[in-house]
C-alpha cells in the first residue's frame, strides 16, 4: 500500500504545481494585456484559463489529507486563502476588462491604493467605531446577558416572563432603535454603544440559559449525592457545560456588534466613524473610500471572530466538538 501511495502523492503534488503555474501565468498575461490597452480577443480566454486553473488548484488542495496537525492546519488555511485570492483576481480582471466605471465598482487595486493613502482617516474611524462603540457595547451587552442568564436560571418566574420579552426585543429593527438611542445618549459613541448592548444582550441571554440546561439530570443528581451546594454545582458542572453555548453567543455577537455600531452611525454621529464615512462618501460617489471602510470593517469582524474562536478552543478543549480540530 505504501508503494502505491507514494506515486499517488507525487502525481497530486505535480498536479498542484501545474495548476499553480498555469494560474499565475494566465493571470500575469491577462494583467499585462489589460494594462496595455482595451481588452482584446486574447484577454478573455486568459481569464477563463486562470479561473479553470485556480479552480483546479483549489479542488486539489481541498482533497489533501495530511497526516500531521501542522500540515492539516496549513491546508485548512491554504484552501480558503487561494479561493479568496482567486475571487479578488477575477474581480480585478473583470472590472478592468469591461472598463466598469469606478462609481459602480472599483477594482481591488484602486481600493488598496485608497486604503494606503487614507490610513489616518481609516484609523480614526476604526478607533471611533470599533475601539469605543463596539468594544464598550459588546462587553456590557455580553456581560449583563451572562449575569442575567444566571439569575433567570434560579427563578422560574423570570425564565417564563423575561425570555419571551427578550425574544420580542431582539426582533426590534435597528433602524428604529438607533435614532431613539441617539436622542437619549447624544451623538457621540455612547449612543452607538447602547445600540450594540441591545443587539448583544439577548443572544447571550438565550444561549447561556440553554447552556445552563445542557447538563444531564444524572450529572446533577450525582453532584447532589456528593453533597455539592447549588453554587458548587453551578461552578463545577453547569457553567463548564454551558461554555460552548456562551462562546457561540460571543462569536455571533462579535459580528452583530460591528454591524449595529456602523448602522447606528448613519443616524447621527460626530464627523468620524465607519458608518459616518460610508454615508458621507457614498453621497460624494467616492465608492473606493466606501469599499476601503468595508474592507477595514470586514477585517476587524473576522479577526474578532477568530480571536474568540481561538479562546474557545483553549477554554473548551475537553468538549467533543474540539477534538480533532
Instruction: Quote the pLDDT of residue 83.
Output: 92
User: Residue 257 contacts by C-beta under 8 Å, 6 or more apart in sequence?
Assistant: 134, 137, 138, 141, 196, 199, 200
- Report whether 185 contacts 177 (CB < 8 A): no
Using the predicted structure, report yes or no on whether residue 142 has a pLDDT greater than 50: yes
CATH fold label, 116-322: MetI-like fold (1.10.3720)
DSSP state of 323: T
DSSP state of 67: S
pLDDT tens digits along 78-95: 889 999 999 999 999 999
Torsion of CA 169, 170, 173, 177, to 10 degrees: 60
Domain extent listing, the chain: 2-100, 116-322
Q: How confident is the model at residue 48 (pLDDT cuts 50, 70, 90)?
A: very high
Instruction: Quote the pLDDT of residue 324.
Output: 54
What whole-number distance in Å separates Cα of residue 100 and Cα of residue 231?
A: 63
What whole-number distance in Å separates Cα of residue 42 and Cα of residue 20?
A: 20
What whole-number distance in Å separates Cα of residue 319 and Cα of residue 241?
A: 9
Find where cell 440546561 sits: 213
- Report whether 141 contacts 177 (CB < 8 A): no
Amino acid at each position: 500500500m505504501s508503494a502505491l501511495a507514494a506515486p499517488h502523492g507525487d502525481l497530486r503534488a505535480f498536479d498542484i504545481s501545474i495548476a499553480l503555474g498555469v494560474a499565475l501565468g494566465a493571470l500575469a498575461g491577462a494583467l499585462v494585456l489589460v494594462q496595455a490597452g482595451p481588452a482584446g480577443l486574447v484577454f478573455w480566454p486568459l481569464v477563463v484559463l486562470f479561473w479553470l486553473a485556480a479552480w483546479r488548484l483549489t479542488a486539489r488542495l481541498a482533497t489533501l489529507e495530511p497526516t500531521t496537525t501542522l500540515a492539516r492546519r496549513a491546508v485548512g488555511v491554504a484552501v480558503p486563502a487561494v479561493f479568496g485570492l482567486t475571487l479578488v483576481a477575477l474581480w480585478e480582471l473583470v472590472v478592468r476588462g469591461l472598463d466598469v466605471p469606478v462609481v459602480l465598482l472599483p477594482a481591488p487595486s484602486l481600493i488598496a491604493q485608497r486604503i494606503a493613502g487614507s490610513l489616518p482617516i481609516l484609523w480614526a474611524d476604526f478607533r471611533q467605531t470599533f475601539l469605543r462603540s463596539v468594544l464598550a457595547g459588546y462587553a456590557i451587552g455580553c456581560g449583563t446577558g451572562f449575569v442575567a442568564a444566571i439569575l433567570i436560571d434560579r427563578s422560574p418566574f423570570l425564565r417564563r416572563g423575561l425570555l419571551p420579552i427578550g425574544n420580542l426585543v431582539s426582533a426590534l429593527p435597528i433602524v428604529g432603535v438607533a435614532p431613539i438611542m441617539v436622542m437619549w445618549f447624544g451623538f457621540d459613541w455612547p449612543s452607538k454603544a447602547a445600540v450594540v448592548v441591545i443587539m448583544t444582550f439577548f443572544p447571550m441571554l438565550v444561549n447561556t440559559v440553554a447552556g445552563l440546561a445542557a447538563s444531564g439530570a444524572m450529572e446533577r443528581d450525582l453532584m447532589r449525592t456528593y453533597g455539592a451546594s447549588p453554587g458548587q454545582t453551578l461552578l463545577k458542572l453547569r457553567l463548564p457545560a454551558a461554555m460552548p453555548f456562551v462562546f457561540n453567543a460571543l462569536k455571533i455577537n462579535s459580528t452583530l456588534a460591528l454591524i449595529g455600531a456602523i448602522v447606528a452611525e448613519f443616524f447621527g454621529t460626530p464627523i468620524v466613524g465607519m458608518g459616518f464615512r460610508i454615508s458621507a462618501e457614498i453621497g460624494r460617489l467616492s465608492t473606493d473610500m466606501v469599499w476601503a471602510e468595508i474592507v477595514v470593517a470586514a477585517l476587524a469582524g473576522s479577526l474578532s471572530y477568530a480571536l474568540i474562536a481561538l479562546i474557545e478552543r483553549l477554554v473548551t478543549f475537553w468538549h467533543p466538538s474540539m477534538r480533532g480540530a
